[in-house]
Amino acid sequence: MAKKSPSHPVAKKTQSHPMAKKVQSHPMARKAQSKRKKPSRPSGLGRGLSALLQDEAAADIAPTRRQGTREVPIEALRPNAFQPRTVFDDQPMQELADSIREHGIMQPILVRPVAGDPNSFEIIAGERRWRAAQKAQLHQVPIVSRSLSNIEALELALIENIQREDLSPIDEASGFQRLIDEFGHRQEGIAKTIGKSRSHVANLLRLLSLPDAVQEMVKQGKLSAGHARALITTDDPVALAKIIISQGLSVRAAETLAQQHSAARKSPSLSARTKKDADTRALEERVSHLLGLSLSIDHKGSRGGKVVIKYKSLEQLDGLIEKLSS
């Protein structure tokens, strides 16, 4: 029978070697381990909002309830007067309501007290959760109350909504414009704080120059921001927008349509030729054939009109005079 080989003394020594313990307990080693375990912190404009919510990332449902929250009747809350979001899609709202009905609201709603009414609160961030909670027929909702000025309330409401990916381009642009008009922000500053390019901010702001009817099509999702940008410099964006929607044109096709429309506007002679009746065009061809020169007739009904004959050389002009004199 084979004998068991004894454990090697070097192996035992290695496992319990004092240098190993010393290395593990060295302050540099502990510092390196703490660096590896340290979680990353969010950055960007949302840091102000996160700080108010005790430095947690914003979410509709969170695994634990924050300290400092309390339950209040759902009717004690009122919408934010500064809410930039004008469209709340039914399907996502219903999905959120179903989730809240099953799990409850774990992420408190940020509010501020209403002046003169200690039992009422104005929502700063979390209006979607509040609306979904009403659909879910909840009677109580968790809140975090903070004393905020009107300026702070407006700025936080804009920031919270601007950072949401499902905010419509028009609502996002309106939020940018309010930051510029009411807080003196610049496009560069807005771009930096929300983590997007300056061109993104500038392109969205240009959408606000479109007619309200076209902006509404964008809000409803009938037109994308790319479609809408193609219409900014056109003379009749509403009509072109309807064509884009009815024909289901891509952004590239919409840009081509807009270019063709602008070219037709800049070339009235081409536009006039397309409006001539068949008899006028037939007469032009007949006279041009007889004279051997290019000719156009601009007939204006009872007001008369004009005939334009084009020649390329003096020989052609002499030949024309001779024919007209004979």
Give the pLDDT of residue 1: 47
Domains of the chain by residue range: 47-157, 219-266, 275-325
Give the pLDDT of residue 252: 92
CB 96 within 8 A of CB 60: yes
Residue in this structure with the two tokens 């660096």, named with its chain if needed: 35
pLDDT tens track for 149-198 = 877 777 777 777 766 656 789 988 988 898 888 888 899 988 887 778 99
pLDDT tens track for 244-264 = 999 999 999 999 999 888 776
Give the pLDDT of residue 217: 96
Give the pLDDT of residue 19: 45
For residue 51, the SS3 value is helix
Please name which of 63, 144, 137 lies closest in space to residue 100, comparing C-alpha atoms. 137
CB 70 within 8 A of CB 111: no
Exposed / middle / buried, residue 40 (Cβ in 10 Å: 0-12, 13-18, 19+) = exposed
Q: Distances in Å between the alpha carbon of 268 and those of 230, 262, 273, 297? A: 22, 11, 8, 14
Q: How far apart are alpha carbons 325 and 308 in whole angstroms?
A: 18
Q: Distances in Å between the alpha carbon of 152 and those of 122, 188, 276? A: 13, 21, 63
Fold of 47-157: 3.90.1530
Give the pLDDT of residue 51: 52
- Between strands 140-145 and 109-114, the pairing is parallel
- Catalytic amino acids? 127
Q: How far apart are alpha carbons 175 and 187 in whole angstroms?
A: 12
Give the pLDDT of residue 91: 78
Give the pLDDT of residue 84: 66
If residue 32 lies in a helix (H) or strand (E), which one and from where to where? helix 27-37
State which residues of the chain have pLDDT below 50.
1-50, 53-65, 270-272
Give the pLDDT of residue 45: 43
For residue 174, the SS3 value is helix
